[in-house]
Amino acid sequence: MPRIAESFDASAVEWRKVSDSTETEFLIDFDYSLLGYDHESGRLDMLLRFHDNGGHCRRHRHIASTATLILEGEQHVEEVQPDGSTKSIVRKKGEYALAGADALPHLERGGPNGCTLMLSMVAPDGRLFEYFDRNMESVRILTIEQYVESWERGAVPGPVETASASAA
């Protein structure tokens, strides 16, 4: 099982910055770091870091079963319900959540002081996330293999893969 990081110390892992200026409805701005993965079992563990600037991740849903542990700050989630309404969820430092495969689409960001969280995902078929455009149309499905390949190339996976500068 390849392990990329051996520490949860936010200053000891390699961070990749994700931003997208083409999104005009909200700010896409966060960092991520791969901790480890196992293609055979379909597992990928990663950290996400949101700063205190209101930056979000992209519109997405988790296809993989996902365990979330809030390490610092607060995670704010706006989950799109089947009827089109939204449900707000706030998770605080130390809280843990477990979601089955095929979760509802959502947006997430850090709270007033940002957030660092760990995601541990199990995807027997390798599919992790599905990304959506502003009309909630699917634009891309990302797999463990794509995440690992982009990490090894120094790129950032997403609807459109981009080059990334590492930031600590």
Check whether 72 has a pLDDT greater than 90.
yes
User: Domain for residue 161, yes or no?
Assistant: no
The whole-number pLDDT of residue 153 equals 87
User: Domain for residue 32, yes or no?
Assistant: yes
The whole-number pLDDT of residue 167 equals 38
pLDDT in tens, 93-117: 999 999 888 788 888 999 999 999 9
**CATH number for the domain including 68?**
2.60.120.10
The whole-number pLDDT of residue 10 equals 72
User: Domain for residue 160, yes or no?
Assistant: no
User: Domain for residue 10, yes or no?
Assistant: no
Three-state SS at 28 = strand
User: Domain for residue 16, yes or no?
Assistant: no
pLDDT range class, residue 46, cuts 50, 70, 90: very high
User: Domain for residue 115, yes or no?
Assistant: yes
Check whether 140 has a pLDDT greater than 60.
yes
User: Domain for residue 138, yes or no?
Assistant: yes
User: Domain for residue 104, yes or no?
Assistant: yes
The whole-angstrom separation of Cα 14 and Cα 102 is 29
The whole-angstrom separation of Cα 152 and Cα 168 is 17
The whole-number pLDDT of residue 168 equals 38
Domain that holds residue 102: 22-153
Three-state SS at 144 = helix
Q: How many domains does the chain have?
A: 1
Question: Region 61-83: what's the mean pLDDT?
Answer: 93
Answer whether 61's CB lies under 8 Å from 49's CB: no
Answer whether 122's CB lies under 8 Å from 43's CB: yes
